[in-house]
Amino acid sequence: MNANAPLNVLAADANPATSLEQRYGAAMPSLGAAPNAVIESLLGHRTVRAFSDSPLPEGTLEWLVASAQSAATSSNLQCWSVVAVQDPQRRARLSVLANNQAHVRDCPLLLIWIADLSRLDRAGEKTGIATAGNQYLEMFLVAAVDAALAAQNATAAAESLGLGTCYIGAMRNHPEKVAQELGLPSDAFAIFGLCVGVPDETRPASVKPRLAQSAILHHEQYRVENEPAAVVDYDQVMRGFQRSQNMKEVDWSAQSAERVSGPGSLSGRDRLVSALRALGFGLE
């Protein structure tokens, strides 16, 4: 891909019939091929952490942001912003703050998604209307949800262009330092990063299977009965996936419980409430 290449259409997988099988391992009864190229592209998602040196085609950033802005947004408040980091030195500094992840340093474009109530503060200043509601947890949640929906639209758009992405939750490991690096105003929080680039074809990523729908989808009321069998199956599916990727084998249930085993397993984010308050959020 070169910078002057046209932005082209939906890149569906070569073999659409396998998309459900890959998404669930063997656990999903066949629904047949995906009904259209959008769904096919969504089912083909995989996180990409290895990028080629190719630059992004011209216009990529603007199309991704237009896609992001096309997401629904609570009350049309648009409580999010995005900082596009292309300066390699800034990316390197942000990589250090995000647990030294190499892809943060090496991707050509790092998008930092901001849960942003500061624009509403400024709307209040402009109009003389109080914005004390921004001091409540509800408004932090509104901004966080808005930012996530926008980012996922950008991700789907990037993948439709044949690009790869990797979310970076580790951007929350040092919120105040990240805010300083990005020059964020008060009431703005870098909720996660998103690496974007052309996937390195020599180090391709694979579709990672998900839990069976029986563990996730409930009809009318939440029921836990189907979950234990689905989780036992999924532990095996993930072991098979890990084997195929030459990764250490571990049950998903054990790995996932471990991830929330205590404050020490949160990569410093156990102090998020105090960090957010320091950044201006009241969280009342």
Contact footprint for ligand FMN (CB under 6 A): 45-47, 49, 101, 166-170, 192, 208
Q: How far is the CB of 104 from ligand FMN (least distance, A)?
A: 8
Pairing of strands 188-197, 164-168: antiparallel
The phi and psi torsions of 191 (rounded to 5 degrees) equal -85, -30
Burial class (CB in 10 A: 0-12, 13-18, 19+), 6: exposed
User: In the bound complex, what is the minimum distance in angstroms from residue 192's beta carbon to ligand FMN?
Assistant: 5
Give the residue with the Cβ less far from ligand FMN, 45 or 93: 45
Query: Residue 168 Cβ, how far from ligand FMN at the closest point, in Å?
Result: 4
The sign of the CA dihedral 198, 64, 24, 18 is: negative
63 vs 156: CA distance, rounded Å: 11
State the Cα angle at 21 between 167 and 238, rounded to 5°. Answer: 60
**Single-letter amino acid, residue 283:** L
Nearer of residues 193 and 280 to ligand FMN, judged by Cβ:
193
Nearer to ligand FMN, 42 or 282 (CB): 42
For the CB of residue 44, give the shortest distance to ligand FMN in the complex, in Å: 10
User: Which residue, 192 or 281, is less far from ligand FMN as judged by CB?
Assistant: 192
User: CB of 46: closest distance to ligand FMN in angstroms?
Assistant: 4
Nearer to ligand FMN, 66 or 102 (CB): 102
Closest residue to ligand FMN, judged by C-beta, is 169
Contact between 120 and 77 (Cβ < 8 Å): yes
Q: Looking at this protein, which amino acid is placed at residue 212? A: A
